[in-house]
Structure 1
Amino acid sequence: MINLILKDVLIQKKLILFYIATIIIYLLAGTSPQIFLGFLYSVIFILNAFAYDEKDNVNILLLSLPYTRKEIVSSKYIGALIFTTIFIFIIYIGNFFLNGKETLFIWKEMLLIIGLVMIAMSFMFPFSYKFKTQYLLIASGALFGIYLLTIKFFIPNFNSKLGELMQRFLTLQETQMYFIASITVIILYIGSWLLSIFIYERKAF
């Protein structure tokens, strides 16, 4: 399974330097919060690796290797957590050295990034296994259109409310709340994992 995860890194080795370079630019410009950067780059990297498996009958090749379908799916879910952690370290270490932040790692922000990625992947992975990532892009475009209509006609201050909600989460002092939120996200992620295995094991190529 480790080789399957390494494969997802190797197929994007030419893009990794581009990812790092753009992260540095964003950090120097200070235009994007670290939470947004961590979430965005993690999701892009994970979905790009997933999309590669849909090209040129790669799935047929994978199934010819000594891996079960359960292992192939599991490598995506485990890899998503590993890649997200790597991007978090890159962003926070980069911000520490480039902008001279007093605190190297802010665990609440890091926990929030991992949680957001897990929630996003919990919906995106089963959708992509059932259909294809190209349909996910179409669905994402439709959701983005709904989002634009919402902030224009219904909730103009939606972005500020969302920012306040995230800030409120980061300033919470109750450990019990973090525990409940973490357990909920983990259950969602595991449920999605099992659903994706169910879908992929019954998929014909």
Structure 2
Amino acid sequence: MVNLIFKDILIQKKMILFYIATIILYLLIKVSLVKIGFLYSLAFITMSFSYDEKDNANILLNSLPYTRKQIVSSRYIGSLIYTSLIIIITYLGNFFLNGKETLFLLKDILIIIGLVMVAMSFILPICYKFKTQSLMIASGTLFGIYMVTIKYLFPSLNDTLRELIQKFLTLQETQMYFVAILTIIILYVGSWLLSIRIYARKVF
């Protein structure tokens, strides 16, 4: 299963250079580290998944000595590893650009990992059930609905969401963080089991 995870890194080795270059550009214009870490982690994971859909790669994967449970599990474990890789790249870049005054905040890291886990909990089962192209169409539709909503129905929605996120970031209650972490883990494991069930029934 380690080889399955390493495979995605090898496939995207050229893209990693592109990720590093653009991450540095975003750091230079002071984009939030959390935003960079989250978006690039999603990009890396979804790109890895889309490569498996090309050239009948799934048929090749299923001909290898791996069970379908192992194939799915490598995707979920790999998502956490890829996210950690992006976080390391982002914080190293920020450190070299901004010097020692840059703090390596544990809260930021937990937020990035948590956001990625929540997003992947919904994205991966959809990708296993359909195709990433369907996900792109659905994402575009949802974005369109969101833009119409904030323009005509709830113009203050962006400000409200920003305030809620800011309040969460300033929370100091350990109990709240414990509940949030436990909820995310349950959601991720549930998604993992659902994806295994979906993939086990697929015919290639």
TM-score (norm 2): 0.97
Structure 1 CA distance, aligned partners of 2:160 and 2:33?
A: 18
2:20 corresponds to: 20
Q: 3-state DSSP class of the match of 2:53?
A: coil
Q: 1:101-144: per-residue Cα shift (whole Å, max 9, x none)?
A: 62431111111111111011000000010000000000000011
- Unmatched 5+ residue regions in structure 2? none
Per-residue deviation, 1:158? 2.2
Shift of the 101–152 alpha-carbon distance from structure 1 to 2, 3 Å rule, reads: farther
After TM superposition, the structure 1 = structure 2 runs for residues 51-130 of structure 1, keeping only pairs within 5 Å, are: 51-100=50-99, 102-130=101-129
User: Whole-Å Cα distance in 1 between the matches of residues 121 and 100 of structure 2?
Assistant: 33
Distance 1:172 1:70 in 2: 38
Runs (4 or more) in structure 1 with deviation over 3 Å come to: none
- 1:93 deviates by 2.2
Determine if contact 2:123/2:135 at 8 Å carries over to the other structure.
yes
Structure with greater proportional helix content:
2
Residues 94 and 102 in structure 2, CA contact (< 8 A), matched pair in contact too: no
How far does residue 185 in structure 1 lie from its aligned partner after superposition?
Answer: 0.3
Determine the C-alpha separation between the residues in 2 that align with 1:15 and 1:184.
33
Match of 1:138 in 2: 137
Amino acid at match of 1:85: S
CA–CA distance in structure 1, aligned partners of residues 139 and 24 of structure 2: 27
Distance in 1 of aligned mates of 2:160 and 2:101 = 28
Q: State how far apart, in whole Å, the 2-side matches of 1:170 and 1:68 are.
A: 41
Partner of 1:34: 33
Matching residue's letter, 2:192: W
CA distance in 1, matches of 2:159, 2:6: 39
Rounded Cα–Cα distance in structure 2 between residues aligned with 1:122 and 1:87? 19
Alpha-carbon separation, structure 1, partners of 2:87 and 2:161: 21
* 1:47 alignment counterpart: 46
Distance 2:143 2:56 in 1: 30
Q: CA deviation at 1:167?
A: 1.7
Between the aligned partners of 1:158 and 1:83, the Cα distance in structure 2 is: 32
SS in 2 for 1:54: helix
CA contact (8 A) 2:118 2:188 kept: yes
CA contact (8 A) 1:115 1:182 kept: yes
Structure 1's unaligned 5+ residue stretches are none
Name the SS for the 2:36 alignment partner. helix
Q: Return the alpha-carbon distance in structure 2 between the equivalents of residues 104 and 87 of structure 1.
A: 17
CA RMSD of aligned residues (A): 1.1
Query: What SS does the aligned partner of 1:173 have?
Result: coil
SS in structure 1 of the partner of residue 193 of structure 2: helix
Q: Partner letter of residue 87 of structure 2?
A: I
CA contact (8 A) 1:38 1:91 kept: yes
